[in-house]
Structure 1
């Protein structure tokens, strides 16, 4: 019974931490974009911030899910062994 209670408590803390991590990620992205936007004003700044905050594909893709999404789009039309080989190589390049 104690083990079950301990498991329930640890899981509840784990799920509570997930949104905090996502928020931290967004906050760090905002901080980075703000630093890069120094000197820009008005419409130029708004356009830059919009592009910067919505950027998904960079030289180094972020999360594994983003990498998979990008590679899946590029692998459209490939099947079987060709697709597996392509996906393997693509995911290696994106990391």
Structure 2
């Protein structure tokens, strides 16, 4: 059962990471010109936030201890924060 749960999570985890890696490349205006300054920073921040949100379901399925038991409380919160941050970094 663990293998089946992990298999669907892998493609889901890869998609946000790929999206996050392209956040800087997506920071363009409606004419395709690269954004700069505050507009670029805002665009990248929004893109990374969306990547973190997309990674949440995949991270939740990975939030298990070495015995396969679901994490809870502070351990789960810590794991989720790191997993989502890693996904946003790409």
Structure with higher Rg: it is 1
The higher relative CO (CA closer than 8 Å, separation ≥ 6) is in 2
Query: Same fold by TM (over 0.5)?
Result: no
Structure with greater helix share of residues: 1
